[in-house]
Each structure stands twice: as C-alpha cells, then as structure tokens.
C-alpha cells in the first residue's frame, strides 16, 4: 500500500509492528492494535509528503510488551531484503519496548548506511490530541534526510524519534508513560531536534560506514538481568546464576558499578564466571558510568572476569549481550567484544 506523489524525492518503507499509535478502543474500553489501512485513512497528511511511503506489516500488529527476539530478527531480515529498494526505513512500534528493539536492531545491522527510525505515540492516531501524526511525519522526514550539499545519508544509524528528539537507538530510554516526551537520550546528546526546522547535530552522528551492510541473524536468549538490592539473598541469586544453560548475565549494580563484598556473593559470581557465564556490570544510575575499581566495592569485579559496561543503558546492555553471545565466540572473546564500542552504545574513556 503506497502514498505516491507525482515525482517523489525519496522512498521510505514503513514497517508496521503495532503499538498505541495504531490502536483503537475495543468494546471493553481497552486499547488494541488496528491495521495500517485504518491508520492511513486517519493520516491524509501522508499524501502531502514529497516521498513514496510504502508500508509492510511485520505480522499481526502487537502491543510491544509482546515483542520477541524473533520479531527483531524479522525486522532485520526485512530491512536487509528491502535495503536497496528504499532510501530509508521507519519502524512504527509501541513505546513500551521501543528502546530494546531499537538497540537490538542497532547491533543486528552492522555497517548500516541508511536511516532506520523507530517511532510511535502516546495517544492513538484517532485521538484529537494524538502525537502519532507528528511523530510519524517527522520520523519519515528524518529517515529521508540528506546532507544539503553532498546529498549523502544524514543519519546512517538506527535511531528513535519521539516528541521532538531524534535519539541514537541504543542510547534511548523510555522515561515517561503519561507525557508526550516519553524518551530520553542517556549519556549522549540527541542526534537531531525537530523545531520549526529539523536541526541535525552532525558531529554526534556516526559517519557512513566504509563496509557493506552485514545483517546478523542470531540472538542468544540464554541471558539474565539481575538488579541488585539490599536484601538480595544467596538463594535468589544462585537460582538465577546457576541456571543450567545460562551464558550471560547483566548485573545492575549501584552507583559507579559497586556491589556487596560479602563472601557468598563473590563466590556466586566467581563460580558463574568460571563456568563461562559472561557477566556485564551496568549501573542502576541513569547518568554517569561504571568505573570498576573506583571503590573497594567494585575493585574485585574485574578480577572475577566481570566486564564493566561504562555508560551503557540496561536496554542496550541486554541486547548487546544477546547479540555478542549469538556470535558464538566463546567466553573470552565475548568478554572482549562486550567491552568494545560496537555501534556507539558506549563512550569509552
């Protein structure tokens, strides 16, 4: 299904996955996803854009709380299949897990030379005060953006547009469920801002890759995410770290990457690490970074083989772990890759 102006300047593929943007109320008064044809009827402005906008459904539209790693692999495969046909891509997605999906896609799409923008809305497209129209129209413009002189792709990245900010996908975090500014860029400046004009912050945007697009097709789900809290018991920690086939675990620690120094706690981590489980240390703080060794309470972590996550978000950490483990490189090499900046997800000091 397409919106076709006479001489379109660019062509964008919208991958429709579901989410509030495309939802309507059912008879019980609950929001449920509708199909894109219904959305398009409510958005005549799509025809005003000087671009060819084609739409493909990823599957039955879903609330993004139901998104799976298989969906991420399908999104990546679809972008690979259509890569040469379109100038850019917009993924219309629910906000709840959008930051996870955008981060996952950033890892799966290596050497991305086109723009992939995730967007969605807080209020359905049929609502009078909907933000779906503005978000989708601006995301389409961002996806089609070129450098004014060179005409090369302006944002060769997986990113997320919401309200007025274009954010690197693997730096995004949903921070708000009631207001329109639902996302924030963590530990990295936004890539662009939409005011009356679109203002791109080119020096924060990744350069066009030298190599060809490489689309990865494996994510390892044998991972866990453990958030530390005072009172976490040995029984509960062991129940997770001793899972038979566990291959990786993100530990959400305190402050600049600190954790208890209690002997049983250290012993649990040591045993997991010795079994080849890749442990990745991410801070519960939204700003700042993990600095293993700054305090005594984190000094031993590096000796146990635990990788410091620097300033990565939890969403990017867990998807990076799935991606790196999916490469099947063995624990030592996986630990090395986890410490590297693969797609702009961490700022190394």
Among residues 17, 69, 95, 138, the one annotated as catalytic is 95
For residues 94 and 190, which CB has a smaller minimum distance to ligand ASP in the complex?
94
- Cβ-based nearer residue to ligand ASP, 15 or 112: 15
> Is 64 known to sit in a ligand binding site?
yes
Beta bridge partners, 251, equal 226, 281
Dihedral-angle region of residue 6 (phi above 0 means left; psi in -120 to 50 means alpha; beta otherwise): alpha
Has 20 been annotated as catalytic? Answer: yes
DSSP secondary structure of 100-155? HHHHHHHHHEET--SEEEEE--SS-TTSTT-SHHHHHHHHHHHHH-B-TTT--BS-
Q: Contact between 64 and ligand ASP (CB under 6 A)?
A: yes
Which span sits near ligand ASP by CB under 6 A: 57-65, 198-206, 254-262, 310-318?
Answer: 57-65
Contact 161, 118 (CB under 8 A): yes
CA-wise closest residue to 261 among 219, 307, 323, 303? 303
Is 96 among the annotated ligand-binding positions? yes
Distance between CA atoms of 141 and 177, rounded to whole angstroms?
25
Using CB under 6 A, pick the residue from 65, 85, 178, 233 that binds ligand ASP: 65
Candidates 71, 63, 116; CA nearest to 93 is 63
Question: Contact with ligand ASP (CB under 6 A): which of 88, 94, 169, 326?
Answer: 94
Rule CB under 6 A: is residue 305 a binding residue for ligand ASP?
Answer: no
Which residues lie closer than 8 Å to 30 by C-beta, 6 or more apart?
none
Nearer to ligand ASP, 96 or 310 (CB): 96
Tokens standing for 12?
Answer: 């964008």
283 is in an annotated binding site: no
122 binds ligand ASP, rule: CB under 6 A: yes
Candidates 73, 107, 119, 120: give the one binding ligand ASP (CB under 6 A).
Answer: 120
CB 182 within 8 A of CB 176: yes
| Sign of the dihedral defined by the CA atoms of residues 39, 40, 45, 50, in that order | positive
Shortest separation between residue 82's beta carbon and ligand ASP, angstroms: 23
* Choice from 10, 95, 283, 313 touching ligand ASP (CB under 6 A): 95
Using CB under 6 A, which of 20, 135, 281, 334 touches ligand ASP?
20
Q: Please confirm, yes or no, whether 95 is among the known catalytic residues.
A: yes
Binding-site residue numbers are 64, 95-96
Please report, in range form, the residues annotated as the binding site for substrate. Answer: 64, 95-96
Residues that bind ligand ASP (CB under 6 A): 18-20, 63-65, 94-96, 120, 122
Q: Which residues are catalytic?
A: 20, 95
């Amino acid at each position: 299904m397409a919106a076709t102006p006479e001489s379109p300047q660019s062509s964008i593929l919208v991958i429709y996955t579901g989410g509030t943007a495309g939802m309507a109320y059912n008879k019980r008064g609950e929001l449920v996803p509708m199909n894109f044809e219904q959305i398009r009827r409510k958005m005549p402005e799509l025809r005003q854009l000087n671009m060819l906008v084609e739409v493909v459904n990823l599957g039955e539209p879903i609330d993004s709380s139901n998104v799976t790693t298989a969906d991420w692999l399908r999104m990546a495969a679809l972008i690979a299949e259509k890569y040469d046909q379109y100038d850019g891509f917009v993924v219309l997605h629910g906000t709840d897990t959008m930051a996870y999906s955008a981060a996952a896609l950033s890892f799966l799409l290596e050497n991305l030379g086109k723009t992939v923008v995730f967007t969605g809305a807080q209020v359905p497209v049929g609502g009078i005060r909907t933000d779906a129209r503005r978000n989708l129209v601006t995301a389409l413009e961002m996806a089609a953006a070129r450098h004014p002189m060179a005409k090369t792709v302006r944002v060769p990245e997986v990113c997320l547009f919401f309200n007025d900010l274009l954010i690197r996908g693997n730096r995004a975090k949903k921070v708000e469920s009631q207001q329109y500014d639902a996302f924030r860029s963590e530990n990295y400046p936004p890539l662009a801002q939409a005011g009356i004009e679109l203002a791109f912050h080119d020096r924060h945007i990744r350069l066009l890759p030298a190599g060809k697009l490489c689309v990865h097709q494996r994510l390892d789900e044998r991972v866990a995410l453990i958030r530390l809290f005072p009172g976490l018991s040995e029984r509960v920690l062991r129940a997770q770290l001793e899972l038979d086939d566990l291959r990786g675990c993100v530990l959400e620690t305190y402050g600049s990457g600190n954790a208890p120094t209690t002997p049983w706690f250290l012993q649990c981590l040591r045993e997991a690490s010795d079994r080849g489980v890749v442990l990745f240390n991410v801070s519960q703080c939204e700003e700042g970074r993990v600095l293993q060794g700054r305090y005594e309470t984190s000094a031993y972590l590096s000796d146990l083989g635990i990788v410091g996550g620097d300033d990565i978000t939890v969403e990017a950490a867990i998807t990076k772990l799935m991606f790196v483990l999916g490469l099947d490189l063995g624990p030592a090499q996986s630990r090395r890759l986890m410490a590297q900046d693969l797609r702009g997800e961490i700022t190394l000091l």
